[in-house]
Structure 1
């Protein structure tokens, strides 16, 4: 029955409302279950109130102007007095206001004036002995004055302005994001004012791009709670940066009052986890998982994948007609590669490396808390989730749920204990444009600690063995950019929580920022991209110098000259980021125009081929 129908004001306490709501929508077997869940939900609501409320800086000095024998709180509020007292206590106001009256407790409110009467009767005071202070012009001023109470309206100018801003922000997410962005950029300029111009530019670029990574980290937190994962592992290299953002965004390890799973970085890579991930030493069938992704592979790279050095097998290679630096097209079809893998010397060496690496990786995962059962969440920037697949094979009895900023189509069968979710761009759903060249995002997310290649024993523990190209240490753009993103996370975080912003609401802005970074990148990003070689572990091997664009001569005569043509094709296959051509400092205008034209034609060819394959598959079905 409605409260008003029984002679009271239309007031209800939170737990009463939750009970009624649960009885309507939840299939709970007993009243005890209803009461228990209602209590849990009310406690969650209190936590949210604690996170969003604050003490007005002028309230204490104001109260000293109105000395009284007794100071109480008097509130039209949906939480009972016991919960409101806990809220005030959490803000350090217990000594200032110890007790009071709440409308939902007595089902009488200030709007009707009946709560004032209840207070006077309960405390045995007359209206003229009562000074009431509040901010609402009707409930806190007009009504009490009608009753003979001395009413004081407390509306600081800054609070009125803040309320207006909040009303705008609550009405429009776009306006809210714009407000936070302006505030963050102003704080960043002040923070970075004394820094060198190059660091300042990279730092501010990170601040502007921050919502891309904040939206993703919010997505990770939401999904981790929803999927009930036991722990979150951020996979290096890019995971080192993403974990910094995650920790800055959720400093209390909670999302809207809900506890987030424990999280940490994990020193892994494709090459450090591939070989040891199988239940038996590597063979031809295992290597097909690599060749499906890299249909061109150098012989030396094949050895690297198996943890071996090709130089130690020169006699075997010579007997098979193979050269260490030879680029093999479709290795799965080359009979020489088949004979190499079956050669006793190769199999014995590969099996020995497999055993060592599997034992070290197994110990490392145990030491990092990656269990053999349960539900494990992994986080990475993208692109096919192959490290997650490798970990899932290492821990077949655990469930692995992956969270990615972008995902490409899977080219290999997915392990049964793997599930993958994407926040930004999903090629499986037809979103391909931003994935034409994903290297820029890898550059700005890369870790200065390098990439994990193997593991070694250090006393009683196993630690990652990492490598980093010397030129990487000469460029501070990624680190400065990341520092800007983490700085912005601390600025954005409280507002995202206060306004209950979800990752879905940030997604459009996130993709827009990703597009901007890809098409109109900061100069420091392009410079780092060109000057720091790309490490190609599984395909061509070694490091690829992206600044060495094929010459005009090679582009023009590539139609007739096979060596020139191969150089041009290999370059186009290994990088397709057009701004690296547009902003290349060492190219003439004709050279730049020719290169950009070839890049665009290559992308059109690739998309056309994919479309044709899709149409063929559909006809087959």
Structure 2
């Protein structure tokens, strides 16, 4: 045998550098040599293509399910191979020929050449997402080219050379290669040995001056040796093990839903040059938060299609991450399009709170929301939140025996329930509410101008996407625009809906918790309660929070401006510190998006299929985390724009310490700590 087998790339390249010294040309096999696949079976890449074709067919009135499409593709390809075998030794097929025949059969008189272009483009899109260049070989390519060696890439593959060049270009070595040669062009393959003499003659290469490297002992080794070439074969046990793991998870997932999420994460794993040293925060963002957000985004897209939603508004600031994830993942998940428009909408509880009072006034429920944070004590805090001037209400307050400093929160010293009753009575006062509406009207008008420009009122059904938890932003937003005749139907999709205060749902205004919703008992998903702030900080946009909307000179282009919170004070600096600390985690979330999209598209699973894995991730990471995970993921600062600066009673919250607030000493050495908190959490959910 004129070939040698090597069991690591390192040893192959080391020996290859010696052997190539007296060689004129070096050729490489492409698949499983230069490029490795994330998936164990290359035919699985055909499945998302079949689903894509079925989607195109449905759009053109043709009733073909993807399984039928795939079955016909296999049959037509097999027929082409058999036909080739009547004339040539190698039973090869050519992708453009058999794919055109398939599409003509599927679309009949609705076929045109643009369909072949679209399908081919999507197949390459999926192929590239599952192919990874072997970094050590790519680096060696550069050395070979610098030494003046002629480099060729050879593949027994149904894709013609022009198509393979696009895959090679994705690997970044096309400019170093003299030619990319495919058996689909000549029907002369390495498997029969007929490719080697053809290449030698066409490119004037002497066999004794030619070194070939591949992974197949027969076609790359034995056949090359028979043609007089020296050959080197790579047989990497590490690659075999990796593929066997992927295969095992994939096969398990067919009957056991839990393994579907595990198979997804295995396909998302970085390989070769992608697998660089990174911080623990980056790892958590990529392996934990990234997939969860991907599943959330996938579910939103599914619901948008179901509810005929034509535009999605990602609400600031967490929507910034959700929108970026959507843009990177959905081209894989929904290649046929048919998705709503998307836009990032600058909103906040503070900015919308005042605007929500312009037509309905200050409601009792909204006032109650203002007193949820323990730092809010009196009417001054209400005014701060709802953009009111407290001095303007002195007479109204006095009429009910109140002042701006009267304690209205039960967690503060000096609280008298009678004062809260007087305040509730004040909210029924028409003169008081007229002043509230007067003070907040300009903010509402400015907000409407902004929403009009964003296209909120140009759609019948819109989605409002936010992190959660009470749905306060959507509550205020809808109350601000409910008076308009062109007010859209608002579908609120929250990462988690805790519903601590009942949400006023109607036909035009609904919220749905995707990962968790208190309206359906889900113990595993409810572990979001353990660390809600972490999800907020992980997804938060790197810009200040919006404080409000302001009317400007009518001569200006927009007539309004957005007012953002200052960043030069203590809180602003703390936010900047938090942004810098979580930067690797946030980058990892975005980096995971295309990998999630590609893996989920290949597997063909939807949100319901991921649910067992979601349960596992949430419980293991939030309810039973390792001490080092808490130390790493725990945020350093968290801004609650509603929270005032007043201190509650000394005994408020005493003895209440959540798991994620425990010391590292407790987390490391208290064996029952996590179980204690979990049983407490379970009791709380049962008693809701």
State the TM-score, normalized to the length of structure 2.
0.61
Indicate if the aligned counterparts of 2:546 and 2:565 stay in contact, CA closer than 8 A: yes
- What does 1:108-123 align with in structure 2 at a 5 Å threshold? 109-113=189-193, 115=195, 119=198, 123=202
Give the 3-state SS of the residue equivalent to 2:565 in structure 1. Answer: strand
Q: 1:356: Cα distance to partner?
A: 0.7
Corresponding residue for 1:483? Answer: 583
Question: Which of the numbers 444, 451, 466 marks the counterpart of 1:358?
Answer: 444
Indicate if the aligned counterparts of 1:519 and 1:579 stay in contact, CA closer than 8 A: no
Asked whether 1:507 is paired with 2:614, we answer yes
Q: 1:339: Cα distance to partner?
A: 5.0
Corresponding residue for 1:454? Answer: 548
Aligned length: 541
Corresponding residue for 2:123? Answer: 45
Question: Which of the numbers 386, 408, 424 marks the counterpart of 2:498?
Answer: 408
Question: Which of the numbers 503, 516, 534 marks the counterpart of 1:441?
Answer: 534
Asked whether 1:212 is paired with 2:288, we answer yes
Corresponding residue for 2:161? Answer: 81
Query: Are residues 318 and 544 of structure 1, via their aligned partners in 2, closer, same or farther at CA, if it must alter by over 3 Å?
Result: closer
Aligned equivalents of 1:438 and 1:64: distance in 2?
54
Asked whether 1:383 is paired with 2:469, we answer yes
- What does 1:208-607 align with in structure 2 at a 5 Å threshold? 208-219=284-295, 221-223=297-299, 227=304, 233-239=313-319, 242=321, 247=324, 255=332, 265-277=344-356, 281-283=359-361, 287-288=364-365, 300=379, 303=383, 306-324=386-404, 325-327=406-408, 336=422, 339-366=425-452, 372-373=458-459, 378-391=464-477, 394=481, 398=488, 400=490, 402-409=492-499, 411-416=502-507, 422=513, 424-432=515-523, 433-441=526-534, 444-445=537-538, 451-457=545-551, 460=556, 461-466=560-565, 470=570, 473-474=573-574, 478-489=578-589, 492=592, 504=610, 507=614, 510-511=617-618, 512-516=620-624, 522=630, 536=642, 542-543=644-645, 550=651, 568=652, 571=653, 577-579=657-659, 582-583=662-663, 606-607=684-685
Indicate if the aligned counterparts of 1:48 and 1:256 stay in contact, CA closer than 8 A: no
Aligned equivalents of 2:532 and 2:281: distance in 1?
18
Q: 1:361: Cα distance to partner?
A: 1.1
Indicate if the aligned counterparts of 1:536 and 1:544 stay in contact, CA closer than 8 A: no
- What does 1:100-249 align with in structure 2 at a 5 Å threshold? 101-106=181-186, 109-113=189-193, 115=195, 119=198, 123=202, 131=210, 133-135=212-214, 136-146=216-226, 148-153=227-232, 155=234, 160=236, 163-164=239-240, 166-167=242-243, 170-171=246-247, 172=249, 173=262, 176=266, 187-188=277-278, 204-205=280-281, 207-219=283-295, 221-223=297-299, 227=304, 233-239=313-319, 242=321, 247=324
Aligned equivalents of 2:664 and 2:230: distance in 1?
70
Q: 1:519: Cα distance to partner?
A: 8.8
Give the unaligned 5+ runs of structure 1: 190-203, 551-567, 586-592, 611-621
Query: Are residues 261 and 63 of structure 1, via their aligned partners in 2, closer, same or farther at CA, if it must alter by over 3 Å?
Result: farther
Aligned equivalents of 1:125 and 1:145: distance in 2?
18
Aligned equivalents of 1:188 and 1:477: distance in 2?
20
- The CA RMSD over aligned residues, in Å, is 5.4
Give the unaligned 5+ runs of structure 2: 1-75, 250-261, 411-416, 666-671
Indicate if the aligned counterparts of 2:488 and 2:508 stay in contact, CA closer than 8 A: yes
Indicate if the aligned counterparts of 2:351 and 2:548 stay in contact, CA closer than 8 A: yes
Indicate if the aligned counterparts of 2:298 and 2:333 stay in contact, CA closer than 8 A: no
36-45 or 419-428: bigger deviation: 419-428
Aligned equivalents of 1:430 and 1:605: distance in 2?
13
Query: Are residues 354 and 210 of structure 1, via their aligned partners in 2, closer, same or farther at CA, if it must alter by over 3 Å?
Result: same
Indicate if the aligned counterparts of 2:103 and 2:111 stay in contact, CA closer than 8 A: no
250-259 or 81-90: bigger deviation: 250-259
175-184 or 260-269: bigger deviation: 175-184
Give the 3-state SS of the residue equivalent to 2:522 in structure 1. Answer: coil
Corresponding residue for 1:32? Answer: 111
Question: Which of the numbers 55, 58, 70 marks the counterpart of 2:140?
Answer: 58
Corresponding residue for 1:193? Answer: none
Corresponding residue for 1:554? Answer: none
Task: Give CA deviations for 1:58-113 in whole Å, capped at 9, x if unaligned.
Answer: 23544788967xx7643222323332234445556555546554334455543244
Give the 3-state SS of the residue equivalent to 1:383 in structure 2. Answer: coil
Query: Are residues 527 and 402 of structure 1, via their aligned partners in 2, closer, same or farther at CA, if it must alter by over 3 Å?
Result: closer
Indicate if the aligned counterparts of 1:443 and 1:525 stay in contact, CA closer than 8 A: no
Q: 1:368: Cα distance to partner?
A: 5.3
Indicate if the aligned counterparts of 2:221 and 2:233 stay in contact, CA closer than 8 A: no
495-504 or 300-309: bigger deviation: 495-504
Corresponding residue for 2:28? Answer: none
Q: 1:523: Cα distance to partner?
A: 5.5
Give the 3-state SS of the residue equivalent to 1:142 in structure 2. Answer: helix
Q: 1:318: Cα distance to partner?
A: 2.6
Indicate if the aligned counterparts of 1:440 and 1:525 stay in contact, CA closer than 8 A: no
Indicate if the aligned counterparts of 2:191 and 2:223 stay in contact, CA closer than 8 A: yes
Task: Give CA deviations for 1:403-431 in whole Å, capped at 9, x if unaligned.
Answer: 54322248224354567565543333313
Indicate if the aligned counterparts of 2:286 and 2:588 stay in contact, CA closer than 8 A: yes
Give the 3-state SS of the residue equivalent to 2:563 in structure 1. Answer: strand
Q: 1:19: Cα distance to partner?
A: 5.7
Task: Give CA deviations for 1:504-551 in whole Å, capped at 9, x if unaligned.
Answer: 49735642334456998745987957xx785546xxxx34658x762x
Query: Are residues 406 and 544 of structure 1, via their aligned partners in 2, closer, same or farther at CA, if it must alter by over 3 Å?
Result: farther
84-93 or 257-266: bigger deviation: 257-266
Q: 1:362: Cα distance to partner?
A: 1.8
Q: 1:485: Cα distance to partner?
A: 0.1
Query: Are residues 129 and 221 of structure 1, via their aligned partners in 2, closer, same or farther at CA, if it must alter by over 3 Å?
Result: farther
Give the 3-state SS of the residue equivalent to 2:139 in structure 1. Answer: coil
Indicate if the aligned counterparts of 2:468 and 2:496 stay in contact, CA closer than 8 A: yes
Task: Give CA deviations for 1:463-491 in whole Å, capped at 9, x if unaligned.
Answer: 13437884564587633441130343476
Corresponding residue for 2:62? Answer: none
